[in-house]
Chain A
Amino acid sequence: MSNTAIRVEKLSKEYQVAGGNFRNDTLRDTIMDGLKSIFRRKENPHSFWALKDVTFEVERGQMVGIIGHNGAGKSTLLKILSRITQPTLGRAELFGRVGSLLEVGTGFHQELTGRENIYLNGAIIGLTRDQIRRKFDAIVDFAEVGEFIDTPVKHYSSGMYVRLAFAVSAHLKPEILLLDEVLSVGDIQFQRKCLAYTEELRKSDATILLVSHNMFAVKSMCSRVILLSEGKMKFDGPPSAAIQMYEEDSKVSPLSWARSSIGTDVSKWDIYLKEMDTFDENGNNVNLFNHGERMKVRLEFDVRRTVTNPNVLVSFIRSDNVACCNFNTVMDGITIPSGSNDFVIELLTPPLKLVSESYTIYVLVRDEKFERLYCAQAGKIFHVRHDLLNTHFGVFHEPGEWFMPNEGVDHQNNFSKEVRVHD
């Protein structure tokens, strides 16, 4: 009891959202919903619990990972603990100075130099001028910005920018540190440095809450993991069990942005996805694929009312929320007959040329004109593995053709051989 650093009791946050305010998946949806909302504005404002009755305690010196799918309430929890937004119900007690890093570099001003920004940012997170002056050299050292310190940060590369921002925040030496996805930025070398620094902080008895989609980082750094799902605590315990549960939990759940158009109660939908599974080409049920492997997605739909020519869409959403690709029956020239019978459909993807990351499969059912929405669900998570390719390489990788016109040499063949080595 006496060693508690964070105590959270029945913490809840309700958001009031008027209809049509949710993220939409196409511009057309956005505009149509915008038009509709002009007429519907005063009609029942939706409200939902982004966080509901979350209770836990963290001891000093613990590093706790917080995982969950998008919209599970991870960021809301961190925002409440860092006092950016207020809870609707419940209470939280923090014992010690709190530092939070919800997004690096937000306190930076483009026109100011690195030096000026260090002072400004230091003040924003609560350091006095004297404290900053004393830590100034250490910060510049850590950030490795060198002679650029007197250049406006608008001329910085994104790497330099992030390094400087992290360096300032890290040198606050907080007793409680709240981290939200910050370790996913910067190059690998700097990430290692940040991880090492975080570990050092923890050893000096700091308490750390880490929100991350990066399961590898969570597994290796945290001794305990809290799994959130739709605002509620689903699990609290050892990392491996939590991560396993997280991946199972990823079966099928309604997408929150569909709330305004079809609601999130699947039992009221005309059609919904009952089961989803991923297989390799040999029919083994797996969720880890090597870069370049093909994947088979099996979808089992429950149909309640007649749906005319359903258009099934499958999208891969990377863990940092980047929509990477989409397959749909209409564009692939497949017509699913109208009807009210349950059906199973399988998609065999082309070789997955995605970068090494985790992806969530989103499944939508629309009509053939991509207008009506019948079903919107997020399903399984799968991983793509490649030794080199990560998010810094973009979304996918395909070999290019290279020519050196002056030499008259065609390098294409050599190149594709090299790529095969990586596969």
Chain B
Amino acid sequence: MELTAGNPLRKPSTVIQPRKRLFELDLNEIWSYRELLYFLVWRDVLVRYKQTVIGISWAVLQPLLTMAIFAIIFGKLANIPSDGKPYPVFAFAALLPWNYFSQALSRSGTSLVGERNLITKIYFPRLLIPLAASVSPVVDLFFSFLVMVALMMWYGIIPTLGLLILPLFIVLALLTALAVGLWASALNVKYRDVGHTIPFLVQAWMYASPIAYPVSMIPEKWRLLYSLNPMVGVIEGFRWSMLGSERPDFLIIVVSSAVMTVMLIAGLLYFKRMEQDFADII
């Protein structure tokens, strides 16, 4: 314990006053709370699979079942092309980031309201709550990734060097989920309608993303507009780095990343502006 008594010029360790600057993102403070982020993620994962019979297997089973349905309906019945890859692998490569994204969004969107108890009683950077909710489904992503590896071996697909860039796309997916999650969670504190909207949003967003179908099905002239959906870039990136399909349209990835960046910065601004009132209106 540092002894500061006796020094008349000592500075207060905490100053509390109304916020003056429009935007202050105290990254140092968030860094100093990194242990809490770890514990929040750990708790999320632990609680989710407690009292389930098959536990973490759900993380594997869910995308596998979705893939089976997609393979039958879109691959077999609708005969949707899959860029020359076996349809199940083609779909699964997209379901990896998509399942992550939809889980992260659903969870972070309602995360603040769910942690009402903490917010009204204890101080810590509120940003950690949606952040933890966006990070925790990465654990599920990891387990589905193992399934992906098995699938690739089954179909004899040999990964290319592109696989090394996969972490970059995972980060891109995480930041996209966080960007939307920041907006949704902060809005949901004030307008609980948002919580009801998220499932629809996720569903509509899925059809607007190249999961069951390849980007090549979108007419050339609409592609730029299409890639304003940041998940298009993420999914294209996943497919490319894992399946080694032909080089993706980099323009798509650049546009998607740019949209994501704008959304994230605006989301952070909005979140920080609303943050001070969370405890009062939640």
**A residues in contact (CB < 8 Å) with B:** 1-3, 7, 15, 60, 79-98, 100, 102-103, 106-107, 109, 111-112, 116, 119-120, 123-126, 128-129, 152, 175
Q: Does B280 have its Cβ within 8 Å of any Cβ on chain A?
A: yes
Beyond A84-B279, A111-B47, A126-B36, 17 additional contacts (C-beta under 8 Å) are A2-B7, A79-B279, A84-B121, A84-B122, A86-B18, A91-B17, A94-B13, A95-B12, A106-B117, A107-B122, A109-B47, A112-B50, A123-B40, A124-B39, A124-B124, A125-B122, A126-B33
> What are the residues of chain A within 8 A of B50 when measuring CB–CB?
111-112, 152
Contact present for A124 and B13 (CB under 8 Å): no
Contacts A124-B122, A175-B1 given; indicate if A91 touches B13 (C-beta within 8 A).
no
> What are the residues of chain B within 8 A of A112 when measuring CB–CB?
43, 46-47, 50
Which of chain B's residues has its CB closest to A205's CB? B5
Chain B contact residues, majority secondary structure: loop
Contact present for A92 and B123 (CB under 8 Å): no
Which of chain A's residues has its CB closest to B7's CB? A2
CB within 8 Å: A-B pair count: 110
Contacts A2-B6, A79-B279, A83-B14 given; indicate if A123 touches B117 (C-beta within 8 A).
no
Contact present for A87 and B16 (CB under 8 Å): yes
> What are the residues of chain B within 8 A of A111 when measuring CB–CB?
46-47, 50-51
Contact present for A129 and B17 (CB under 8 Å): no
Provide the bound-state CA to CA distance between A355 and B6, in Å. Answer: 49
Contact present for B43 and A120 (CB under 8 Å): yes
Provide the bound-state CA to CA distance between A125 and B35, in Å. Answer: 11
Contacts A82-B123, A83-B14 given; indicate if A60 touches B5 (C-beta within 8 A).
yes
Q: Does B28 have its Cβ within 8 Å of any Cβ on chain A?
A: no
Provide the bound-state CA to CA distance between A224 and B6, in Å. Answer: 23
Contact present for A123 and B13 (CB under 8 Å): no
Which of chain A's residues has its CB closest to B48's CB? A111
Contact present for B39 and A123 (CB under 8 Å): yes
Q: Does B62 have its Cβ within 8 Å of any Cβ on chain A?
A: no
Contact present for B123 and A1 (CB under 8 Å): no
Chain B window 1-44, contacts with chain A (Cβ cutoff 8 Å), 1 for yes, 0 for no: 10011111010111111110000000000000101101110110
Min C-beta distance of B8 to chain A, whole Å: 4
Which of chain B's residues has its CB closest to A91's CB? B17
Contact present for A97 and B13 (CB under 8 Å): yes
Q: Does B120 have its Cβ within 8 Å of any Cβ on chain A?
A: yes
